[in-house]
Structure 1
Amino acid sequence: MRALGIILAGGNNNRMRELSNRRAIAAMPVAGSYRSIDFALSNMANSHIAKVAVLTQYNARSLNEHLSSSKWWDFGRKQGGLFVFTPTITPDNSFWYQGTADAIYQNLDFLKRSHEPYVVIASGDCVYKLDYNKVLEYHIAKRADVTIVCKDVDANEDVTRFGVLRMNEDYRIEEFEEKPMVSDYHTISTGIYVIRRRQLIEMIERCAQEGRHDFVKDILIRYKNLKRIYGYKIQDYWNNISTVEAYYKTNMDFLKPEVRDYFFHQYPDIYSKIDDLPPAKYNPGCQVKNSLVSSGCIINGQVENSVLFKKVYVGNNCVIKNSIILNDVYLGDNTHIENCIVESRDTIRANSYYCGEDEIIVVVEKNERYAL
């Protein structure tokens, strides 16, 4: 493909509550065996983008470990590869990334040394499948300066955490508002952009000269009347996991047969780093209904409408309902978990009871299971 990829995976927000204390949002586990960033990386690989840069910053240890080898997404080759860039102190700059545009600016040499004519920019906190080739073809056919991948959402959807836009009959963007309090429009930006490499370099350098740092506010919104910015609508599944509620809903969507079939059984595939773990073990007397149970789990109790990630131990007489149990959790005997997200590497003591009634509870046991 005549494009290189940039994945923005360094951000953080308070809407993930305790879940973002240990890891970047792009490293959040999704659908039992994946990380959020796997979907963007797999889309890059399936679109034959051979050169991909991941810009990381906040709580990047877990994410950097996950990206330690490019072979899982087939980027390990002589031409191209997977590049992970973190903020670096130089004689000219000692700042962390001050925004998405600044993150690209601090790694501008990567763009300048590349030869691909186009750049695909994506975020690392979205769950979807997309052929970027189709977006690039659309971008060229429209003779666009920038193409934004967008999606229509339901009228009752909360759009305050998205960029909201309005297009004319030719799909040219006429209005673009970032995270509005109130909006009459229901077309949102998915955070995926296609732009010519030389033009991106020019815009980013001008942004830096003016002391501006945000890609959406300082490039897309400022230039919407000066540049030809078009929208490309997608109809298939897409979700952003940047809040606890959205993260819970996305994982629960994988309990629907049509969503599982779309991601697990329909080409192209989603790839991830593989752990050498035994298959899940279901001991006599356990009951499992409509749940995703990952490798390395041992089930003794009752699990219903839940997603269990790798290496979860469910003790005797436990009841797990409508919950997400992250990696390497030990649930003691007679524990009841309902409408909860249990943080990874927790030990839930026997006879514990957690039930979220009005909202999803994030369970974090402050115990010392591992020595520091």
Structure 2
Amino acid sequence: MRALGVILAGGNASKMGGLTERRAVAAMPIAGSYRAIDFALSNMTNSHIQKVAVLTQYNARSLNEHLNSSKWWDFGRKQGGLYIFTPTMTADNKYWYRGTADAIGQNLDFLKRSHEPYVILASGDAVYKMDYNEMLEYHIEKKADITVACMAMPVGTDVSRFGTIKMNDEMRIEEFEEKPLIASSNTVSLGIYVIRRRLLIELIEKCAEEDRHDFVTDILIRYRGLKKIYGYKIKDYWSNISTVESYYKTNMDFLKEDVRRYFFKEFPDIYSKVSDLPPVKYNSGAAVRNSLVGSGSIINGRVENSVLFKKTFVGENCVIKNSIILNDVYLGDNAYIENCIVESRGTIRANTRYVGEGEVKVVFEDNERYVL
């Protein structure tokens, strides 16, 4: 294969609040049965990239458990495979990852021991489908040093949490602003890059010599006038989940028929670790409309326009509207949940009411499950 993959999955999204106190952003549940990192991993295997490294750091336990077998994404090969790298203290290095460039730098031996001429860099916190080979062909055709996947966001979108770019008629990037307070462009970087492996090694080593640690600031922005950096526009669905609002919206998008068809029925498929759970059980009195319900769940109440993840128990006369219920949540009888995200393994007591008014409410309940 002409490229190897590197997925940056060690970050902590502070705007997700308590949702990332227990897990990395890349481990956030998506669409009833997936994790955020499944989309980047599936894109890698669907693009026939056989060798993929995942760089983890923050709250990595659940993410590492999810990645404990490469077979789910078909990386169990004699050549290639799935590699998980966490920060390691050594005699020469006593730091955790200090940025994306430093994360790559601390695992530079992986790149040096590889033989593929190109590297696909991607983040683990976005939901999308993409054939990286098409972007690689574009990169080669342009004779680019670095190619950046980008997308024109709808007018009025808040792009202050993204990197924004401006390109000339030939798609060469002339301006790159990281998280601008006032954006001069609505075209954003998607955190997906193509770069020649030897050039990446050279740039990362230069960053280490100068004590610089961030791939965007210290490579893309710093070298934009010296290196040929091009944009590669995509028009299909793409969503980043680094805030509570964007995470809620992304899951709710899966209730739209066109989005479900795109991800669930159109080739190529999205893969994930499979749990051996029974199908959903709908008891007498259950009423479910326009919702996704994960396997192993038991429904006794009413569910509308919601996403319920695996092993959710919905009690009698319970009402759930416009909400996301994460894995293994127990909702007692007569509970009312609207416009909320309920954290995993929570217990919502009977007759409890939670309503997000004006914005999404994140609910954390750690009550003992069977205490009155």
Task: State how far apart, in whole Å, the 2-side matches of 1:209 and 1:351 are.
Answer: 60
Task: State how far apart, in whole Å, the 2-side matches of 1:293 and 1:56 are.
Answer: 29
Question: Match of 1:100?
Answer: 100
Give the letter for the 2:45 counterpart.
A
Q: Report 1:144-183 matches (<5 A).
A: 144-183=144-183
What is the deviation of 1:247? 0.2
Task: State how far apart, in whole Å, the 2-side matches of 1:13 and 1:242 are.
Answer: 5
Q: Report 1:177-256 matches (<5 A).
A: 177-256=177-256
Question: Match of 1:259?
Answer: 259
Task: State how far apart, in whole Å, the 1-side matches of 2:366 and 2:296 are.
Answer: 24
What is the deviation of 1:285? 1.4
Question: Match of 1:131?
Answer: 131
Question: Match of 1:55?
Answer: 55
What stretches of structure 1 of length at least 5 have no aligned partner? none
What is the deviation of 1:366? 3.0
TM-score by length of 2: 0.99
Q: Report the 3-state secondary structure (helix = DSSP H, G, I; strand = E; otherwise coil) of the residue aligned with 1:354.
A: strand
Task: State how far apart, in whole Å, the 2-side matches of 1:155 and 1:94 are.
Answer: 45
Task: State how far apart, in whole Å, the 2-side matches of 1:295 and 1:353 are.
Answer: 25
Root mean square deviation of aligned Cα: 0.8
Contact 2:336 2:352 in 1 (8 A): yes
Task: State how far apart, in whole Å, the 2-side matches of 1:254 and 1:97 are.
Answer: 34
Q: Report the 3-state secondary structure (helix = DSSP H, G, I; strand = E; otherwise coil) of the residue aligned with 2:205.
A: helix
Deviations 1:123-145 (A, max 9, x none): 00000000000000000000000
What is the deviation of 1:369? 4.6
What is the deviation of 1:349? 0.6
Q: Report the 3-state secondary structure (helix = DSSP H, G, I; strand = E; otherwise coil) of the residue aligned with 2:320.
A: strand
What is the deviation of 1:358? 1.3
Deviations 1:216-240 (A, max 9, x none): 0000000000000000000000000
Question: Match of 2:328?
Answer: 328
Name the count of aligned residue pairs: 370
What is the deviation of 1:184? 2.3
Large movers: runs of 4+ above 6 Å: none
Task: State how far apart, in whole Å, the 2-side matches of 1:369 and 1:86 are.
Answer: 35
Q: Report the 3-state secondary structure (helix = DSSP H, G, I; strand = E; otherwise coil) of the residue aligned with 1:192.
A: strand
Deviations 1:165-186 (A, max 9, x none): 0000000000000000011210
Q: Report the 3-state secondary structure (helix = DSSP H, G, I; strand = E; otherwise coil) of the residue aligned with 2:288.
A: strand
Q: Report the 3-state secondary structure (helix = DSSP H, G, I; strand = E; otherwise coil) of the residue aligned with 1:193.
A: strand
TM-score by length of 1: 0.99
Percent of aligned pairs with the same amino acid? 74
Question: Match of 1:22?
Answer: 22
Contact 2:75 2:81 in 1 (8 A): yes
What is the deviation of 1:368? 4.1
Task: State how far apart, in whole Å, the 1-side matches of 2:163 and 2:92 are.
Answer: 32
What is the deviation of 1:367? 2.3
Task: State how far apart, in whole Å, the 1-side matches of 2:369 and 2:334 are.
Answer: 19
Question: Match of 2:110?
Answer: 110
Question: Match of 2:38?
Answer: 38
What is the deviation of 1:155? 1.4
Give the letter for the 2:171 counterpart.
Y
Contact 2:173 2:229 in 1 (8 A): yes
Task: State how far apart, in whole Å, the 2-side matches of 1:330 and 1:357 are.
Answer: 23
Question: Match of 2:74?
Answer: 74
Task: State how far apart, in whole Å, the 2-side matches of 1:256 and 1:190 are.
Answer: 23
